[in-house]
Structure 1
Amino acid sequence: MIERFRVAPGSVTALTVSGGDRFEVIDRFGRQPAELTVLAADPRAVTGWTPDAPATVLRSLVAGPDEIGYAAGRILTLLSRHIDQDRARALRLFGDDSAAGARSGFGVDADAVVLVAAPASRMDLAGADPNPPSEVMVEVHRAKPARPEARELPAPLAEPLWDMRIGSSTASSYEIRAGQFIQIIDVEGRQCSDFLAFDARGLDGGREYGLDPTTTRTIGGGAYPQPGLSGKFFDSRAQPLVEVVRDTVGRHDTFALACTAKYYADLGYPGHVNCTDNFNATLSRFGVAARAGWPALNLFYNTAFDAAHQLTSDEPWSRPGDYVMLRACTDLVCASSACPDDIDPANGWMPTDIHVRVYDSTRRFSVAVGHRLTPDSEPVLTKPTAFADRTGALTSTFTEYHGYWLPNSFDGYGPQHEYWACRERVAVMDLSALRKFEVLGPDAETLLQATLTRDIRRLSRGQVVYSAMCTETGGVIDDCTVLRLGDNNFRFIGGDPHDGIWLRTQAEKLGLQQVWIKDSTDQMHNIAVQGPASRDLLAGLIWTPPTQPTLRDLGWFRFLIGRLGGPDGPPLLVSRTGYTGELGYELWVHPDDGGTLWDAVWTAGAPHGIAPLGLEALELLRVESGLIAAGHEFDDQTDPFEAGIGFAVPLKTKTDDFIGRAALTERKAHPQRVLVGLRLDGNETAGHGDCVHIGRAQVGVVTSGVRSPILGAGIALCRMAVQHAEPGTRVEIGKLDGHRKRIPATVTTFPFYDPEKSRPRA
């Protein structure tokens, strides 16, 4: 069995090894140095370890009250038992030209603690050879693999007030004070844990105010609360009891009954231990009346309603160490179970333990959802952007968007105000959730030419091109823009964090040895400044050297590299691109400079009537302008022609082969569907997924729909059968079941707004 550990850029990971073990340090994406420090009584505990450089990451660690500081403190405690921090040394591994997947292996002769660090310096955004820091992996091959039941818990997120193990097939009750945090951990993975909570003061007065499913769903508007704006669970008085702070799983059944004696008896297992009876027993000491079935928050249990509204269930999604963290909104009496169900997939057929940790109310944890890029990846928590301090001062309405928190709308403005500011004046929005990848090396152009529909060989230095990236069958994996910074340097910007994995996979298949795909998302955050006044606003802010065009001279789909405010200001990249259909620019800076950039734009924009722009207003702008979105107009089952971006597939002028070319040639010759515009009669709006009919037959489906402020009408983008795509064709949009209510509409061309794109070209 191989144990794998991730070392994030700029961090240190500690692992314990014993005599006979082997471990390998892996430069996963290439060109990333690593530092290896061994702490052991025997200096020869690890063969091949000869320190040759200062341990720069260890020397820079600072303990603190937050999660990062707490983790640093644990490392420093280990280090202090062996050496002073400022004297720590390491063996330096890998270098600026190491290949993706490069490995360094070591044997272990005696017990030791191994510290592996991934140094992270700030990427030179304007440099000739940008090389963002990336993660390092460690694989440990144990001479004596640990017993499965001895699985180690994840490290605490802070100093716990107390820990409690809930043994398999049991339940325990406990008291929590207002503001304290409850971390419920699935120890082995795939284990359901039911959770109950009651207002403690209510129980003291003989009244039970517990989690109420109907109230919670009505107030929150969702099947179950998740971290974010609507993250609270309520009792029947509409008083919040707990708030979801973190969730590394993202898939639960909520408020089904905890398993009952009747459930097992009806299936032929009378007398089977069950959560409800376990709850009744453990809660009796608080005077809680026994029930035949407890409506519970069913953490980790994987159920859903299918298209026929039938309740389905399958094995839980949770992995070992996954957790949900709740914050108590008031003093609580809680109960948690380790569900005993071993007769169906509720617990992966094997009930195991649950672990509960409680943290003090003075601790601060980021609000986050966990995302796994691949099934075997560690969860990555939602991050704030470089502009979060500025946007957070203007609104509390944030949406979890592709791993980042982005504003939905702004207090005192609202979607309509934000929309009109962009159409008539100028608006600024945070687009940092876009994924950026540096594609570097002599084989970079070859890789992009083979994986993108556009002819990358025609791309000039300083130019931006919009493209699609397709599967062999012609489906769109993602749309993207590509910037050429040099002969062998490209910047790929897309929406899907998986894009980098796809590019690396194709490079391996093509046998390309001299290309590195490095994720630079965390090294470059960006805002969009859009609207008729955007050029005038930015012209006085952006300084460019003589080798670069001035902002006023910057052409459409071109970029410049300059400085903010003058030759000594923060470096930035400015592209004349956008997602609104207006004249506009995107400004890219290192996160350390995010606040400075926002302040400069906001101050300079005041005379122009600048407004912030959220996701709700952006949706109005992009649909009016006929701009497509992943999961709406395209997915990997939709080709670029069906998605309305056939212009990005130059089959005649791009003679080189690329992934999906043969399929796209066939699809273009024999189209089945095409993207069209719809203009609705009346004032109702269409929504994504609404069926489009002529008579009883369905002829299309709405991909996006809004009420256009500038047109004063409902508009929609629709994937339509080619036989009915002629402008002027009358159709009906189906609501309810698609037949009981119909909204008449007319097929039109799109974009609905500025069809010649004269405004962004202005």
Structure 2
Amino acid sequence: MGLPFETRAPRRGVLTPGLALPPGVERHPVPGGGSRAVEIRAGDEITVTDREGGQLAEIVAFTPSGAGDAGLIGAVASGAPEGLLATLRDSVSGRGVARALAAAGFDLGAARAVRRFGEGSRPGDSAQFTAGGDGLLVVAAPGGPMAPDAQDAPTELLLYIRRADRRNFKGAHPPPDPLADPLTDRNIRPGEAFVYEVPKGGFIQILDVQGRECSDFQAFSARSLDAGTPREIDPTATRTMTGTIYPRPGLAAKYWTVDLEPLVEIVQDTCGRHDTFGLACTSRYYDDMGYPGHVNCTDNINAGLDPYGVRPRGGWPAINFFFNTLIDADHGIVTEEPWSRPGDYVLLRAMTDLVCVSTACPDDIDPANGWNPTDIQLRTYGANEDFRRSIGWRKRPEDDVAHTQETGFHASFARHTRDFVEYNGYWLPNGFPGEGTLGEYWACREKVAIMDLSPLRKFEVTGPDAEALMQYCVTRNMEKLAVGQVVYTAVCSENGGMIDDGTVFRMSDHNFRWIGGCDGSGAFLREQAERLGLDAHVRSSTDQLCNVALQGRHSRAILSQVFWTAPDRPTVDELGWFRFTVARIGDFQGVPVVISRTGYTGELGYEVFCHPKDAGAVFDAIWEAGQPYGLKPLGLAALDILRIESGLAFAGHEFDDRTDPFEAGIGFTVPLKSKTCDFSGRAALEERKAHPQRRLVGLEIDATTVPAHGDCVRIGRQQVGVVTSATRSPILSKTIALARIDMPHAEIGAEVEVGQLDGHQKRLAARIVPFPHFDPTKARAKGDYGT
């Protein structure tokens, strides 16, 4: 399922998604529920694409005089732009468009909209227009907040413009708009260095305009320069203080001097791959490579800093943003092309008055800049700006960068902790210092705990062929799934490797909700619908549904006090294991939610789904009702202990795209005998089951040392497996692990050793045992706590 203008990079046989567009083509994403305004010129070719299908597009074209005129793009209007007007009120992107329209004096209220797509449109459907004159084009992907039991999530549109006159072309990747009103906005060409001053609290944005371009950065304490004792960022001191190769947004985000003074803090980073080991490029390097006299960053830095009395150096230690280096197994420094893509940037905050220097690296003789040095954009902003911490991520390589988001429940949990870590594109609580990881753990095992699981990916699967699509794409038998029921299952590729695991909710006869761990599983469903020619639609709804899990023996008692259900829906007390209900807080007029009896802890538990706008009210109602029962918040660190004890799989640990469900310990999700129809990966799974190579097992380890994910498992010198997850179990008072072992050595009771260091110099004695290690009959998850 291709999209218009997806192209190969110029280099033969090398694909670089997201880096190349045809000459003269610009790409402008329109977020679901939002809008975008772009200037157009006579003769421009306009393409609007419905990326996921089923999304209405409202398009308004304005003449330079401010009049709405659909004829400007050769179309016929079909009514007032009601959906577009809603986006201007309710979305961040829309409010930006509203400000632009107001500043230009355009009257959207008098305009008429061109409508395309909507119900029934397929993923990748496109509409083409040609601009008959100059003007402003506004495109909206309207859609309001999705109720938790509805399936009408607004999704993204893509706007492409092929410029008729290349003089109007802003470049395949023009510099993105500033984050705020910049104090400095300087384009740095390859082979240039720019020196600038930033006061304490100010922000510095170093932006890779075209992608794959490195930028050396160095910062001095202005106070140290005034004193004649220059102190700049020291990479070794920084690695020592942070415990990381380079800082990232979060708790270890600062760059330090040798006097252990923090100079700058990373606030946002959309690339996440930089260098702190090598020098800025030097004349010596180019001389030794046979390019004497080549312009280089070190000489440029020396020249720029000379007015400040900084002694020139033969090689400048610098933070080389976007330079891709790593340390290999033999301790060598390996370099490759940068990971950065067009528009990637790093945003820093000055922690004292600074003198800074930034370069655009001129290296064109190796992969450091993708063989093609390009521009760096340098912007600074005032200390009064409010920039949130974020780590950039992309669903697919060709997608625009998305920033780490706060879930709907973020503010509620932030009342109890500041320890948040990035997980799957969101900030999630890692721990709650007031309780401690063990306190959170015991609250879940003995009483009740609440955690944020909103980063789980949600997809609405609807249409006459929705069941057929799900039946093909997941391993469980969807024909046996009743309305109101939930089932845990796997999604496999044709080779039997797991794409994802998750749960399927049957919302109605022809409607399903898939909740998995990654965006790739939703993309896979959409691709299979297209390939098989099925009348089924797959729409992303992650941003429309956030969820908390309430886990522990008192979870049912708490929720039954908070939520009301209609007579035709089961109450919380009536809800069976792996069933869901639609409920409201308090009564018929209350906030709507979906409650499922599911969880990831091995305890009696439930998940509560709501729209992000209602998350605060949902959390407060549960929290208040839970206090008499000892309700505590639960972070990711404690959750990891709980799920390992309960033998629950985690992506990237127990499974990946080369691991089948049998090897991941969830073979029960593949009913090859009772599900007789074909499904994705069936033939490979039949072969793998008949001739198994590896098995997931439990380990008990005779040491308090906890192995790491990836540690080898050996018998003598021979490696027979690998540790997938491990922890120290509080309730068992043992070190336990899950491990994937070669079949000839996977017998229960077998003695093995976990290798550390090089796998031979340190060994942990262990034996293979059944798993789950704790509550193997799952009695507690079924609500049976005995007396």
TM bin, normalised by shorter chain, reads over 0.9
Compute the displacement of 1:363 (Å). Answer: 1.1
Compute the displacement of 1:56 (Å). Answer: 4.2
**Structure 1 residue 45 corresponds to structure 2 residue 72:** yes
Which stretch shows the higher mean deviation, 259-268 or 307-316?
Answer: 307-316
- Please give the alpha-carbon distance, in whole angstroms, between the structure 1 residues aligned to 2:709 and 2:405: 28
Change (3 A) 1:622 1:54: same
Corresponding residue of 2:333 = 311
Corresponding residue of 2:676 = 655
Work out whether residues 87 and 140 of structure 2, in 8 Å CA contact, stay in contact via their aligned partners in 1: no
Corresponding residue of 2:366 = 344
Change (3 A) 1:148 1:545: closer
Work out whether residues 55 and 88 of structure 1, in 8 Å CA contact, stay in contact via their aligned partners in 2: no
Residue 577 of structure 1 aligns to which amino acid in structure 2? T
Corresponding residue of 2:125 = 102
Which stretch shows the higher mean deviation, 317-326 or 700-709?
Answer: 317-326
- Please give the alpha-carbon distance, in whole angstroms, between the structure 2 residues aligned to 1:254 and 1:359: 25
Tell me the SS of whatever aligns to 2:285. Answer: helix
**Structure 1 residue 23 corresponds to structure 2 residue 50:** no
Change (3 A) 1:150 1:551: closer
Work out whether residues 37 and 51 of structure 1, in 8 Å CA contact, stay in contact via their aligned partners in 2: no
Tell me the SS of whatever aligns to 1:752. Answer: coil
- Residue from 420, 426, 442 that aligns with 2:448: 426
Change (3 A) 1:164 1:74: farther
Deviations 1:535-559 (A, max 9, x none): 1111111111110111111110011
Deviations 1:15-68 (A, max 9, x none): 2222111112222212212221112237443211536213543466369xxx94
Residue 74 of structure 2 aligns to which amino acid in structure 1? T
Corresponding residue of 1:207 = 229
Compute the displacement of 1:392 (Å). Answer: 1.3
Work out whether residues 76 and 85 of structure 1, in 8 Å CA contact, stay in contact via their aligned partners in 2: no
Work out whether residues 427 and 529 of structure 1, in 8 Å CA contact, stay in contact via their aligned partners in 2: yes
**Structure 1 residue 34 corresponds to structure 2 residue 57:** yes
Deviations 1:509-540 (A, max 9, x none): 1111x111011100110000001111111111
Compute the displacement of 1:93 (Å). Answer: 2.7
Matches within 5 A, 1:109-128: 109-127=132-150
Tell me the SS of whatever aligns to 2:619. Answer: helix
Structure 2 alignment gaps of length 5 or more = 1-21
Change (3 A) 1:278 1:255: same
Compute the displacement of 1:155 (Å). Answer: 1.0
TM-score (norm 2): 0.93
Compute the displacement of 1:80 (Å). Answer: 4.1
Tell me the SS of whatever aligns to 2:113. Answer: strand
- Please give the alpha-carbon distance, in whole angstroms, between the structure 1 residues aligned to 2:560 and 2:115: 45
**Structure 1 residue 272 corresponds to structure 2 residue 297:** no
- Residue from 306, 320, 324 that aligns with 1:302: 324
Work out whether residues 185 and 321 of structure 1, in 8 Å CA contact, stay in contact via their aligned partners in 2: yes
Corresponding residue of 2:549 = 528
Deviations 1:584-623 (A, max 9, x none): 0000001011011111111111111111000000000000
Which stretch shows the higher mean deviation, 476-485 or 558-567?
Answer: 558-567
Work out whether residues 13 and 115 of structure 1, in 8 Å CA contact, stay in contact via their aligned partners in 2: yes
Residue 545 of structure 1 aligns to which amino acid in structure 2? A
Corresponding residue of 2:433 = 411
Corresponding residue of 1:250 = 272
Which stretch shows the higher mean deviation, 525-534 or 160-169?
Answer: 160-169
- Residue from 748, 752, 762 that aligns with 2:773: 752
- Please give the alpha-carbon distance, in whole angstroms, between the structure 1 residues aligned to 2:112 and 2:306: 57
Which stretch shows the higher mean deviation, 211-220 or 703-712?
Answer: 211-220
- Please give the alpha-carbon distance, in whole angstroms, between the structure 2 residues aligned to 1:339 and 1:687: 38
- Residue from 721, 731, 741 that aligns with 2:762: 741
Compute the displacement of 1:253 (Å). Answer: 1.7
- Please give the alpha-carbon distance, in whole angstroms, between the structure 2 residues aligned to 1:530 and 1:685: 26
Compute the displacement of 1:288 (Å). Answer: 1.5
Change (3 A) 1:96 1:511: closer
Work out whether residues 34 and 92 of structure 2, in 8 Å CA contact, stay in contact via their aligned partners in 1: no
Over aligned residue pairs, what C-alpha RMSD do you find?
A: 1.7
Matches within 5 A, 1:514-593: 514-593=535-614
Corresponding residue of 2:474 = 452
**Structure 1 residue 190 corresponds to structure 2 residue 212:** yes
- Residue from 220, 240, 260 that aligns with 2:262: 240
**Structure 1 residue 620 corresponds to structure 2 residue 620:** no
Compute the displacement of 1:74 (Å). Answer: 5.9
Work out whether residues 429 and 529 of structure 1, in 8 Å CA contact, stay in contact via their aligned partners in 2: yes
- Please give the alpha-carbon distance, in whole angstroms, between the structure 1 residues aligned to 2:638 and 2:197: 44
Compute the displacement of 1:458 (Å). Answer: 0.6
Matches within 5 A, 1:570-719: 570-719=591-740
Matches within 5 A, 1:141-156: 141-145=162-166, 152-156=174-178
**Structure 1 residue 502 corresponds to structure 2 residue 502:** no
Corresponding residue of 1:11 = 34
Matches within 5 A, 1:64-79: 68=92, 72-73=95-96, 75-79=98-102
Which stretch shows the higher mean deviation, 524-533 or 100-109?
Answer: 100-109
Tell me the SS of whatever aligns to 2:120. Answer: coil
Work out whether residues 23 and 138 of structure 1, in 8 Å CA contact, stay in contact via their aligned partners in 2: yes
Residue 682 of structure 2 aligns to which amino acid in structure 1? R
Residue 327 of structure 2 aligns to which amino acid in structure 1? F
Compute the displacement of 1:221 (Å). Answer: 1.3
- Please give the alpha-carbon distance, in whole angstroms, between the structure 2 residues aligned to 1:74 and 1:195: 34
- Please give the alpha-carbon distance, in whole angstroms, between the structure 1 residues aligned to 2:289 and 2:545: 56
Structure 1 alignment gaps of length 5 or more = none
Deviations 1:643-690 (A, max 9, x none): 100000000000010011111111111111100000000211111111
Q: How many aligned positions are there?
A: 755
- Please give the alpha-carbon distance, in whole angstroms, between the structure 1 residues aligned to 2:173 and 2:750: 64
